[in-house]
Amino acid sequence: MDSKLSVRAQKNDFGAELTGIALNKPLSAQQVEEIKHLWHRYQVVYFPDQPLTHPQLEAFTLAMGPFGHDPYIQAIENHQHILEIRRDPDEAVAPFGGSWHSDWSFQPAPPSATILHAKVVPPVGGATHYADGIRAFEALDAGFRDDLSSLRAVHSARRPYSHEGYRLGGERRSMKILPNDDAWATQVHPLIRTHPASGRQALWINPVYTLSIEGLEENESQAMLERLFAHLLQPEFTYRHRWSENMLTMWDNRSVLHCAQGGYDGYRRIMHRTTVAGSAPFHRPEVTSLERNI
């Protein structure tokens, strides 16, 4: 019989450490379901002390679901679904992912999960911050939530991944970024997103990829986004995650924003990243009691 995972939750049940399982071995159906259940509940789950080869990282990812599509970044040779997130000691450029975002929200069906495996962890700095879009939404005034319910936001990859945006971000030597004019395309998603597994509602916008709110004048749109970003990124909704070598962390891209922190100049930091395919975002406020029971 499968051993039960041990859970140590962070404050507000946002983020949890899971132990008692070896991810370098095939997972049973029961173990997969337990991990998914805890992931939906805590949104960010992490497994310390999990040394993994590339094939083992790929196998764990596939246990969670099909691979997502990861554009604009060169993958590891012979492993097209693993990205190496790397910053070498002598690089002056800002950390990759150093602004608040939800991975690939400009896609028609952004990834459901992002998985990050720590290979080289600097002795200082290098934390990742996460923001809880669910609690941020629930903390809004009920009338304001209703006002937001019908709004849709415009997302695009143009800021970091168009040729113009990439030049502004600075040259990276340790990672190969592949800017493309396709980054100018836009995708419209609901501003409030219903989680397809739990039915919970999340404020689902981010400062990197969300350009505007559909149907609003530019100044009105920007004022609304700034107000919502300021609310969403308050300390009470965020969690600072500290890494250790061989730790694997998986977060729910459908309700969580994240931001890579610096503070490790002069040291190397290497992470390997995969994504799990997701579905088109939707908003359905009528949620049954069964859907809420996760």
Q: Are 241 and 31 in contact (CB under 8 A)?
A: no
Q: DSSP 3-state assignment of 16?
A: strand
Residue 227 Cα distances to 186, 234, 253, 254, angstroms: 22, 11, 22, 21
List the catalytic residues: 101, 103, 258, 273
Give Rg (Cα) of the chain.
19
Q: Are 155 and 189 in contact (CB under 8 A)?
A: yes
Q: How far apart are CA 88 and CA 93, in angstroms?
A: 10
Number of neighbouring beta carbons within 10 Å of residue 208: 22
H/E element, 168: helix 163-169
Q: For residue 94, give every residue at least 6 positions away whose Cβ sits within 8 Å of its Cβ, in sequence order, or none.
A: 169, 170, 262
